[in-house]
Amino acid sequence: NAGVTQTPKFRILKIGQSMTLQCTQDMNHNYMYWYRQDPGMGLKLIYYSVGAGITDKGEVPNGYNVSRSTTEDFPLRLELAAPSQTSVYFCASRTGFAEQYFGPGTRLTVT
């Protein structure tokens, strides 16, 4: 199993541009999550999904959108990128058990 994979690894965006961060898991997990990690701040939940077709907001959803058309994929969309969205983004998934499995992250810079 590859586990949780994320693309791209790095990206630089200009203010106002849009992009999609990709996340795929091959563990048949129902639950998937998007976090952002800012220095000294830990991880904050952006959006999550409990299964295909079902998504919900987390702690910091503004400026982002998600969709979940399949069990495997959970893309995160940034519309009108802003400098405040400069961060490292992590995707994670889990089964019915409690722990989450994390991808390697996408480092995004908005200038």
Partner 1 sequence: AQSVTQLGSHVSVSEGALVLLRCNYSSSVPPYLFWYVQYPNQGLQLLLKYTSAATLVKGINGFEAEFKKSETSFHLTKPSAHMSDAAEYFCAVTGKNNNNDMRFGAGTRLTVKP
Instruction: Name the residues that contact partner 1, by CB under 8 A.
Output: 4, 31, 33, 40-45, 48, 50, 56, 58-59, 90, 92, 98-105
Minimum gap (Å) between residue 18 Cβ and partner 1: 25
Minimum gap (Å) between residue 16 Cβ and partner 1: 28
Supply the Cα-derived Rg of the chain in whole angstroms: 13
Minimum gap (Å) between residue 44 Cβ and partner 1: 8
Residue 22, helix vs strand vs coil: strand
- What order do you get walking across the sheet with 4-7 strand by strand? 4-7, 19-25, 76-78, 64-66
* DSSP annotation of 84: G
Q: Which is nearer to partner 1, 85 or 100 (CB)?
A: 100
